Amino acid sequence: MSTTTDKHARSNYTGTRHKGKRYGTLWYSSTGEDGDVTLSIDFETTDNLLKLDVIDDWIGLLKSERDSIQREWEAEIADMVASQ
């Protein structure tokens, strides 16, 4: 069973949360340390303007998540150095 989080899913949104249509899945291979994206047929058959909008949203959300993780990691490293 998998779980998801909404921590970066438009935190300023105040309406009822509706995830809408799933257009893909993010994958990670622990053996190859590679990430991958599988896009659905629904995404592939969507008009290009919507594809561009959706991809821009994904990039923004993933960048926000990456920046947050980077700050946490830097704090962890600083704590490790300080404790030596």
Q: Is the pLDDT of residue 84 over 70?
A: yes
- Check residue 1 and give its pLDDT: 38
Per-residue pLDDT, 13: 56
Prediction pTM value = 0.70
> Per the structure block, which two tokens stand in for 73?
């990691």
Q: Where are the domains of the chain?
A: 24-82
Could you report the per-residue pLDDT of 23-37, keeping only the tens digit for each? 888 888 888 778 999
- Can you list the alpha helix ranges (DSSP code H) found in 1-84? 41-44, 48-82
Instruction: Note the pLDDT tens digit of each residue in 50-77.
Output: 999 999 999 998 999 899 999 999 999 9
Alpha-carbon dihedral sign for residues 27, 15, 52, 64 = negative
